[in-house]
Structure 1
Amino acid sequence: MRAAGTAFEVAVHEEAVLGEGPAWDPATDRLLWIDVLNSRVHTYDPATGRRTLRRTDQHVGAVRPRAGGGLVLNLRDGVGLLDPDDTFRWLHREPVPGRRANDAAVAPDGSLWAGTMRYDEAAGGGTLSRVTGDGTAEVLLDDVTVSNGTGWSPDGRLMYYVDTPTRRIDVFDVRDVRDVHDDARGAGAAGGGRITGRRPLAVIEDGAGFPDGLCVDADGCVWVALWDGAAVRRYTPSGELDRVITLPVPRVTACAFGGPDLTDLYITTARVGLRAPHPLAGSLLVVPGAGRGVAQPAFAG
């Protein structure tokens, strides 16, 4: 194991309550990220330093670019679309009292895999659902506590997933539906296939924090942010810990590769629940040249 690019920089100094969900938008060359509990969607252009801020009408768990322009939002009451002209409309609305949206990711087929959790973090109160561009929604996992990081291997054959209290990064096989008619481990459709064979890739040891958001690099390695762990870790496809980025902020929430060459690792942080937050808690951080990212698909809706 070795340290990797530990010379982080502050991309955006911000006091986000719960900064989350960084995502690079190649169509605009800017980074998208959110403040969940302040209901804010941020953008950041690293070339110019220009920032924008948009407030949503309810808590927002994730934001991702759309193939036709605009944004898709994982919101408290469901999934909504923001058009390029700033017009909002619901794509799939399913309000559940006491529940809110959390992390989400776009699968290789362009569908949104949207997570939820209860505000009180009650065990089993969350879900992971697949939402297509026409608004069709299917629950894939229905016994989730805090649905968090979701990502796919570069070849699309593996899916990685975090339910934070388990302390695990889990991995699923993504298989053609014709191969799994009799597979009792099947856990829902994934475009033309299913996710099956859930198993741990890695377990975060006691005292090292809890796994939160994640991303996958061009080598197939999984980078995971550690809530209350003040770090981002990289695990190889075999589950070996081989890199650690140590940060001064305890509540590290998510990470994503960005920049024109997808070599800079952007990291979101939070200050919620901290009695004496570090001055950078809630800021957007970046580690230049941390690795090689993979271009992420836009939402097909």
Structure 2
Amino acid sequence: MTAPYEVAVRAEATLGEGPTWDPATGRLLWVDILGMRVHSYDPSSGRRTIRTTDQHVGAVKPRADGGLVLNLRDGVGLLDPDDTFRWLHHDPAPGRRGNDAAVAPDGSLWAGTMRYDEAPGGGTLSRLTGDGEATTILPDVTVSNGTAWSPDGRRLYYADTPTRRVDVFDYDHDSSGIHNRRPLAEIEKGAGFPDGLTVDADGCVWVALWDGGAIHRYTPSGALDRVIPLPTPRTTACAFGGPDLTDLYITTARAGLPAPHPLSGSVLVIPDAGRGLPQLPFQG
């Protein structure tokens, strides 16, 4: 299936990532990881803002009481509404940085890391509470990426990019733990690598394909039922946004491309692509 796309934000992000709709402000948040920038975009007015960070920033999410939580190179930090920065969990490790992150049904932040050299097993997926308590959920991850929950909160979907798989776990609401890991879908060779992902109101999983120039949608049983080709080869992540959560926003990257497409690094949008789920803010 082909789908018409529009350019939401024309940019030249080195590594655009992590689109997140903030319903409290009606804005799309996203980051340029290597450019050390946090972006916001208001589609109703076209207004954009850019904040520069002091180090590489893997993800940004809104907080329940205002401000932002940032998955940074050296740990997870909080940006208060007055722009004051403080560390929630400071955990620097040489050669490692924060990558994708997501907010769980209980309001905790599940933050991924990876090594800059992408050494196998050099990253983790950790759960952070609002008081800064950190628990390693998955050790020995290579490139921790897309993380999202099913509409009923009983399933966690996850991509460790080099595996070429989207895996699914059972999620325990009482313990906030996961178990029973199994593959949901495997990306065929030559079709790219699974990067960021999101789940829609029907429980289907939308996956951005790095070096695949496309979005794939998989049913809860793992069947591929939609392919949306895009002109930008390094498609990095996707999320539903807009007042009715029906517009699919897609981040892209220029990093590593000898001849980037003119839209590489921009944020694309597919209007009325489906219906997304409300994303919870971080309770911290």
State the TM-score bracket (shorter-chain normalisation). over 0.9
Select 2:261's aligned residue among 278, 281, 295: 278
1:40 corresponds in structure 2 to 37
Report how many residues are paired.
Answer: 284
Q: 1:193: Cα distance to partner? A: 3.6
2:250 corresponds in structure 1 to 267
Work out whether residues 154 and 173 of structure 2, in 8 Å CA contact, stay in contact via their aligned partners in 1. no
Q: 1:176: Cα distance to partner? A: 5.1
2:270 corresponds in structure 1 to 287
Deviations 1:134-163 (A, max 9, x none): 000000111100000000001000000000
Structure 1: distance between partners of 2:20 and 2:211: 22
1:149 corresponds in structure 2 to 146
Structure 1: distance between partners of 2:64 and 2:176: 22
> Are 2:238 and 1:241 equivalent residues in the alignment?
no
Deviations 1:196-218 (A, max 9, x none): 00000000000000000000000
Deviations 1:222-248 (A, max 9, x none): 000000000001000000000111101
Q: Describe how 1:61-100 pairs up with structure 2 within 5 A.
A: 61-100=58-97
Give the CA RMSD over aligned residues. Answer: 0.7
Select 1:250's aligned residue among 218, 233, 249: 233
Letter in 1 for 2:129: T
Runs of 5+ in structure 2 lacking a partner?
none
Select 1:28's aligned residue among 25, 43, 46: 25
TM-score by length of 2: 0.99
Structure 2: distance between partners of 1:193 and 1:15: 38
Runs of 5+ in structure 1 lacking a partner?
178-191
Letter in 1 for 2:42: D
Q: Describe how 1:200-219 pairs up with structure 2 within 5 A.
A: 200-219=183-202
Work out whether residues 210 and 234 of structure 2, in 8 Å CA contact, stay in contact via their aligned partners in 1. yes
Partner secondary structure for residue 60 of structure 2: strand
Structure 2: distance between partners of 1:279 and 1:43: 21
What percentage of residue pairs aligned between the two structures are identical?
76
1:160 corresponds in structure 2 to 157
Structure 2: distance between partners of 1:166 and 1:141: 14
1:136 corresponds in structure 2 to 133
1:105 corresponds in structure 2 to 102
TM-score by length of 1: 0.93
Q: 1:50: Cα distance to partner? A: 0.1
